[in-house]
Structure 1
Amino acid sequence: MFKVTFAFEDGSKVEAFANAGDNLLEVARGANVAIDAPCSGNGACGKCRVQLKGGEVDSKKTLHISDEEFEKGWRLACMSKISADVEVLVPDIASAYKSRMKVADLSSKEEIAIFEKAKSQIEETGIQFRNSLEVVELQMAEPSLDDTMPDVERLTRALRKFMNLNRIRVPYAVLRKLPDVLRASKFSVKCVVRVTPNDMFVYDIFDSKEDVIMGGLAVDIGTTTVSAVIINMATGEILAKSSSGNGQIRYGADVINRIIETTKPGGIKKLQDAVIKETINPMIHEMCRSIHLPENQIYRMCVASNTTMNHLFAGINADYLRTEPYIPAFFKTNSMFASDVGIEINKDAHIIMAPNIGSYVGGDITAGALVSMIWNRPEFSLFIDLGTNGELVFGNSDFMMSCACSAGPAFEGGDISCGMRATDGAIEACTIDKETMEPTYKIVGEPGTKPVGLCGSGIIDVISELYMTGIINPKGKFVREGKRIRHDHYGMGSYVIAFEEEAGSSKDVEITEVDIDNFIRAKGAIFSAIRTMLSSLDFDVSMIDDVYVAGGIGSGINMQNAVNIGMFPDVPLEKFHYIGNSSLTGAYLMLYSTEAEKKTYDLAANMTYMELSTVPTYMDEFVGACFIPHTDASMFPNVHQR
């Protein structure tokens, strides 16, 4: 047995023990040490770099680490086996994907403006914002020797008289606290109840003098990032908002690697624990602490996520999603409660799930489609959600068609050597001077924050600027020289955005030709999916009236730059609208409004799903799109003119 010490740049350390021959990345996972491994440890991505500080490991030499770096102790964790006591440094960039949890400052209007706008637009369609949760106030006669009715019957009779319902259910959690609350309040109480036409369920009971907040929780479970809000179910007010890296990411950056992980012994439980115990529950506790709300006063939860994330959240075998004929266990379910999956809110809280419509188009898209308002407009609109999977919806008030393409994790920083989530230290916007080739960039975080890497919106900007200034050619290869352009001994070019001395990491923040190539494939997947879907309807891009772009890839992407690189069609910029995290906004609307929830189910039931892998022309479209901006220059006349 050997001791393995993981050291971090802030001076902290984590110790673990391992046997000879154990894989270093697996040891890190077992010790809950965050090391980025988008390829799930098969040596393909080169992002699990660590530096030896003491001892030695049995490590294979790879192309991802130069001879000079190898001499300095740099190793890939996934290619290293334990052979002695060892201490390794985990650099910030290796763990940047799993950033510190962030609780939003709701005094900032920007944080809640998107929710308010979406609510207003939905209300204009006639959908009402009310739900089945209520706070009922009761005054009961106190028991006596002449009135020996049991407490629970006294309560149910009072509720039945108040609400005129025959069936009233009082769960064990309420029954346990009932005697003490009744006597402390002199039988004057408030009950949190769910009322339906057929029955009533009692969630909680309080002294009538208490101010009771009915909490609700909306969660967007992204492949890379999890976001959530706690709301007041009576008023719809957002009380707290939070985001965090999805703890599952250490098992792979994409859903296929994670599904493969679930097929190993105990794998389903590991993936479920990673998203619930390591990610969602800590977010709940931090948000509740910030607003002084007990967790058990959250009585309903809504989840919007892709089909795979839904299965992993629920602890259901997802393996059949990745094998033909790609069948999920469910599209929608109303049978899940907090206690079933270990969500640490009120144990009897009902969990609503935004419905899936295909193996790779999930509830995040149906929730987003609700927010986009495509379904309420006669104009033809395109909705694009940029994430690990690029998901699209096209249509109007008469029809909607959807599809998904495997864009990979590039839009959220995966597959990019210095890529990261849109969190502190991420470069989210960039311009490059055409003459000097010097960059000017904007960084996520407080003033003075040093750059650590690039998030999705920053990558789009950098590649667009490199192309528009003639630094790279349409194939993504460097064709100009300067102090910020370097070539390794294999001839691989790179552009340095921030040198090590000005960066907040242990190495330069740079983008390489491999990174650019990976991103070209990601943007190519998006554009070819758009073209394929439109072609199947005998449409072309000129018939698109509006484009709604969603995704948490930054504070909003530069649409012109996205067009410049050929990710979006070359249509007038005024047609583009960035609508933020529409999955979380849609989950909020479904949580707060029963009618909005039902509308989302209707949208899912009436949306046509197209499986791109079955369309013969899709690969031809994809190959054509793997070029900046495209192999067919006539598709991007304005870009070439600029």
Structure 2
Amino acid sequence: MFKVTFKFENSEDVSVFAAFGENLLEVARKTNVAIDAPCSGNASCGKCRVKLVGGTLDSKKTRHISDEEYAQGWRLACVSKICDNVEVLVPDIASAYRSRMKVADLSSPDEIKIFDDLKGQVCEAGIALKNDMEVVSIKMDVPSLDDTMPDNERLTRAITEATGMQIVRIPYAVMKKLAVVLRESNFDVQVVWRKNANDVFVYDVLPKDKPAVVAGLAVDIGTTTVSAIIINMLDGSILAKGSSGNGQIRYGADVINRIIESVKPGGSERLQKAVIEETINPLIDTMCRQAKISHNSIYRMSVASNTTMNHLLFGLNGDSIRTEPYIPTFFKTNSMYTADIGIKTNPCAHIIVAPNIGSYVGGDITAGAFVSMLWNKPEFSLFIDLGTNGEIVFGNSDFMFSCACSAGPAFEGGDISCGMRATDGAIEACTIDKETMEPTFTVVGGEGTKPIGLCGSGIIDVIAELFRCGIISPKGKFIREGARVRHDQYGIGSYVLAFEKDAGSVKDVEINEVDIDNFIRAKGAIFSAIRTMLSYCDFDVSMIEHVYVAGGIGSGINMKNAVRIGMFPDVPLELYEYIGNSSLVGAYAMLYSSEAERKVYEVAKNMTYLELSAITSYMDEFVGACFLPHTDASLFPSITE
């Protein structure tokens, strides 16, 4: 056995023993050391870089590590085997974006505007913004030798008198604390309950003089990013908001790799632990501190995520999702509690799950489609969610079709050598001077923040600008030379956005031809899915009356650039509307409004799911779309002009 030590720039070392020949990436995974591996260890992405600082590794050379970097000690963890005691540095650079957590500044109107806008739209649709959670004062007679009724019956009788409901459900967590709370409060308490048509469910019993906070947790579990808010269930106000990388990223950037990992021995448990213990619970801790509330004050949770993420969250076998006929364990469920899976809230908190529609169209799209309100409008609208899977809905108040395409993680920074989430240091917008080829960009974090990588909106801008300036060809190859364009030993061209001295990372921030090719395939998947679905419905692009674009890929998307590269249809730009993280907003609506929750289920029920793999024309459309902007220039007349 050999000692393997993982060293970090801003935290303590982690040491573990490993056998001769063990793969370094697998050792890191077993030790819960987060090394980003979007390709799940296939040596194709080049992101699992570590630096050898002591000992020896059996590590073969790859195209992702230059001779100079190899001499400096840089290795790919996925192709490195243990052969000696070894020390490796896990760098805190753009490729390690998984660990970055961001908590929102709620004093900024931009952070909560989308939630405020939703309230107005929901009210206009005739949906009441209220739920069945209440805090009610209950005073009971103090027991005596003449009144020996047990505590639970005493509370039940008092609630029945207050509500007229004969069935009162008191769960174990409340029973466990009941005796102490009643006596400390002299049987004058506050009860947190949910009153249904048939019964009353008691969530908590609190002292009369203790301020009662009734909070709810809404979570959008994306393949790459997890976003969440804590709200006041009584008035809908947002108490805290934050996001973090999904800890499962080290098991692969896409859902297929995650599913494959989940069916390995102990894989399901590892993936569930990564998303709950390493991602959701730390996010809850941070947000509770921000909101100055206890975890026990969170009495309800809503989840909007894709079908695979739902299965991995609950520890369910998802292998049938990826194999024909693509049947998941569930589309909808309302029988889960946070205590069942170890989420740090009140143990009685019920989990509301936005319903899935198909194997690759999940509750995140159901929630997002609800937020877009296309189900309540007569105009023909397109809803596009840009994530690791590109999911699309087309329809209006009379019909809705949905489909999903495997775009890969490029829109969230994955599969891109300098890609990252939209956190501090990410280039989110860019222009390039056509003559000098010099870039001008804005960075998340504001003035003075050094760039360390590109988030989704920045990648769109950079590729569109490189194409507009004639620096790259329609195939994504570099065709101009200059100080910022260079080629490596393999002949792969790249464009430098920020040299190391001006960057906030340990190397230049650059985008290369492999990155561009990955992104062209991602944008091609989106456009070909749109064309295929419209054709299936006997529609064409000219009939689109509104386009809603969702996804947390940055502060927004330059729609003109998205059209320029052939990602979106060439329709008038005023038809486009960026609505941000609609999945999280939909989860918020389900959490706060019981009527909205029912409506989301209705939206899912009325949506027809198309399996693109079963439509023969899809691959032909995809091949044509893997070009800037497309092999058929007539589809983009404004760009041609």
Quick one: distance in 2 between partners of 1:443 and 1:381? Answer: 32
User: In structure 2, do the counterparts of structure 1 residues 624 and 612 end up closer, same or farther at CA, with 3 Å as the change threshold?
Assistant: same
User: One-letter code of the match for 2:314?
Assistant: A
Question: Is contact 1:214–1:299 with CA below 8 Å preserved after alignment?
Answer: yes
2:183 and 2:321 map into 1 onto residues whose CA distance is 54
Give the Cα separation in 2 of the matches to 1:279 and 1:437.
40
Corresponding position: 1:499 with 2:489? no
| Amino acid aligned to 1:353 | V
- What is the rounded CA distance, in whole Å, between the counterparts of 2:14 and 2:548 in structure 1? 44
Structure 2 CA distance for aligned equivalents of residues 420 and 565 of structure 1:
21
Q: What CA distance in whole angstroms lies between the structure 2 residues aligned with 1:135 and 1:89?
A: 52
- Partner letter of residue 37 of structure 2? A
Cα deviation, residue 520, structure 1: 0.3
The residue aligned with 2:385 is 385
1:96, 1:421 within 8 Å by CA — same for their partners in 2?
no
Secondary structure of 2:27 counterpart = helix
Shift of residue 299 of structure 1? 0.7
Distance 1:54 1:141 in 2: 72
Any idea what the Cα deviations from partners look like across 1:192-219, whole Å, max 9, x if unmatched?
A: 0111111111110112222211110000
Residues in 1 aligned to 2:11 and 2:243: alpha-carbon distance in whole angstroms: 25
Q: Is the 8 A contact 2:375 2:397 kept in 1?
A: yes
Report the Cα distance in structure 2 between the residues aligned to 1:635 and 1:446, rounded to whole angstroms.
Answer: 38
Distance in 2 separating the partners of 1:240 and 1:159 = 32
How far residue 10 of structure 1 moved from its aligned partner, in angstroms, is 4.1
Instruction: Give 3-state SS (helix, strand or coil) of 2:99's partner.
Output: coil
* Cα pair distance change 1:10/1:289, threshold 3 Å: closer
Q: Give the secondary structure class of the aligned counterpart of 1:21.
A: coil
1:160 aligns with 2:160: yes
Q: Secondary structure at the match of 2:448?
A: coil
Task: Return the letter of the residue paired with 2:448.
Answer: G
| 1:78-102, Cα deviation, whole Å (9 max, x unpaired) | 0000111222222223653213222
2:509 is aligned to 509
Distance (whole Å) between structure 1 residues aligned to residue 282 and residue 99 of structure 2: 13
- Aligned-partner SS, 1:281: helix
Q: Partners of 2:561 and 2:179 in 1: how far apart?
A: 64
Aligned residue for 1:302?
302
In 2, Cα distance between equivalents of 1:334 and 1:621:
39
Give, in whole Å, the separation in 2 of the partners of 1:12 and 1:285.
Answer: 21
Contact 1:421/1:456 (8 A) holds in 2: yes
1:208-267 Cα offsets, whole Å, 9 max, x none, are 222211110000000000000011111011101110000001000000001000111011
Report the equivalent of 1:69.
Answer: 69
How far has the Cα of 1:449 moved from its partner?
1.8
Q: Secondary structure at the match of 2:98?
A: coil
- 1:190 and 1:72 mapped to 2: Cα distance? 64
Q: Which deviations, in whole Å up to 9, do the C-alpha atoms of 1:505-556 show, x marking residues without a partner?
A: 1111111111111100000000000000001111111111110000011111
Question: How far 1:469 sits from its partner (Å)?
Answer: 0.7
| CA offset digits 1:326-379 (Å, max 9, x no partner) | 000000001101111111111111101000000000000000000000001000
Q: State the 1:8 CA deviation.
A: 3.0
Cα distance between partner residues in 2 of 1:222 and 1:611: 21
Give ranges in structure 1 of 5+ residues lacking alignment.
Answer: none
**1:583 aligned partner:** 583
Q: Which residue of 1 aligns with 2:271?
A: 271
Determine the structure 1 residue equivalent to 2:469.
469
Amino acid at match of 2:73: G
| Alpha-carbon contact 1:47-1:94 (below 8 Å) kept | no
Residue of structure 2 in register with 1:262 after alignment? 262
What is the rounded CA distance, in whole Å, between the counterparts of 1:430 and 1:21 in structure 2?
A: 45
Q: Distance in 1 between matches of 2:2 and 2:495?
A: 41
Structure 2 equivalent of residue 631 of structure 1: 631
Q: Could you tell me how far apart the structure 1 residues matched to 2:631 and 2:5 are? A: 50
Q: TM-score, normalised by structure 2?
A: 0.98
1:312 maps to what in 2? 312
Residues in 1 aligned to 2:574 and 2:471: alpha-carbon distance in whole angstroms:
28
**Residues 1:449 and 2:484 are matched in the alignment:** no
Identity %: 72
Change in CA separation of 1:219 and 1:237 when aligned onto 2, cut-off 3 Å: same
Q: Give the unaligned 5+ runs of structure 2.
A: none
8 Å Cα contact 2:95-2:419 kept in structure 1: no
User: Higher mean Cα deviation, 310-319 or 143-152?
Assistant: 143-152
**In 2, Cα distance between equivalents of 1:339 and 1:119:** 30
Shift of 1:148: 1.9
Secondary structure of 1:351's counterpart equals strand
2:553: which partner in 1? 553
Give, in angstroms, the shift of residue 172 of structure 1: 1.9
Structure 2 CA distance for aligned equivalents of residues 530 and 269 of structure 1: 36
2-structure distance, mates of 1:596, 1:202? 23
For the residue of structure 2 that corresponds to 1:135, the secondary structure is strand
Contact 2:95 2:418 in 1 (8 A): no
CA contact (8 A) 1:49 1:94 kept: no
Determine the C-alpha separation between the residues in 2 that align with 1:511 and 1:556. Answer: 20
1:440: how far off? Answer: 0.8
Counterpart in the other structure of 2:87 = 87
Cα distance in 1 for partners of 2:538, 2:3 equals 63
Equivalent residues of 2:95, 2:417 under 8 A apart: no
Q: What is the aligned length?
A: 641
8 Å contact 1:383–1:394 — kept in the other structure? Answer: yes
1:268: Cα distance to partner?
0.6
| C-alpha distance in 1 between matches for 2:449 and 2:19 | 40
Q: How does 1:411-430 map to 2 (within 5 A)?
A: 411-430=411-430
Aligned mates of 2:31, 2:432 — CA distance in 1: 42
Is the contact between residue 35 and residue 94 of structure 1 (CA under 8 Å) also seen in structure 2?
no
Question: In structure 2, what is the Cα distance between the partners aligned to 1:11 and 1:329?
Answer: 40
What does residue range 360-371 of structure 1 map to in structure 2 within 5 Å? 360-371=360-371
Q: TM-score, normalised by structure 1?
A: 0.98
Q: CA-atom RMSD, angstroms? A: 1.2
Structure 2 counterpart of 1:259, which letter?
A: I
- Cα displacement (A) at 1:12: 5.0
Residue 622 (structure 1) aligns with: 622
Whichever residue aligns with residue 504 of structure 1, its letter is G
In structure 2, how many angstroms separate the alpha carbons of the residues matched to 1:596 and 1:227?
A: 20
Which residue number corresponds to residue 147 of structure 2? 147
Provide the C-alpha distance between the structure 2 equivalents of 1:538 and 1:172, rounded to a whole number of angstroms: 56
Conserved 8 A contact 2:94-2:419: no
Distance 1:268 1:99 in 2: 21
**Separation (CA, whole Å) in 2 of partners of 1:87 and 1:430:** 39
Aligned in 2, Cα 1:89/1:614: closer, same or farther, shift over 3 Å?
same
How far off is 1:591 after superposition?
0.5
Find the counterpart in structure 2 of residue 14 from structure 1: 14
Classify the secondary structure of the residue corresponding to 2:239: strand
Matched, 1:123 2:123: yes
State how far apart, in whole Å, the 1-side matches of 2:35 and 2:422 are. Answer: 17
TM-superposed CA distance for 1:33, in Å, is 2.1
Amino acid at match of 1:304: A
Query: Structure 1 residues 438-447 or 104-113, which shifts more?
Result: 438-447
Query: In the aligned structure 2, how far is the partner of 1:471 from the partner of 1:11?
Result: 41
1:547 is paired with a residue whose SS is strand
CA positional deviation for 1:184? 2.0
Q: Which moved more, 1:4-13 or 1:412-421?
A: 4-13
Change (3 A) 1:8 1:144: closer
Q: Distance in 2 between matches of 1:568 and 1:45?
A: 26
Distance in 1 (alpha carbons) for counterparts of 2:435 and 2:11: 41
| d(CA) in 1 for partners of 2:586, 2:31 | 36
Match of 1:460 in 2: 460
- Aligned-partner SS, 1:631: coil
Q: Offset at 1:603?
A: 0.6
Aligned twin of 2:340: 340
Cα offsets for 1:373-404 (capped at 9, x unmatched): 00010000000000000000000000000000
Per-residue CA distance 1:122-167 (angstroms, 9 max, x = gap): 1111100111111111122222222222221111101001000111
Q: Distance in 1 between matches of 2:268 and 2:9?
A: 33
1: CA distance between counterparts of 2:32 and 2:79? 19
Give the distance between the partners of 1:36 and 1:207, measured in 2 at CA. Answer: 47
Secondary structure of residue in 2 paired with 1:173: helix
Q: 1:129 is matched by which residue type in structure 2?
A: L
Query: Which letter does structure 1 place at the counterpart of 2:480?
Result: R
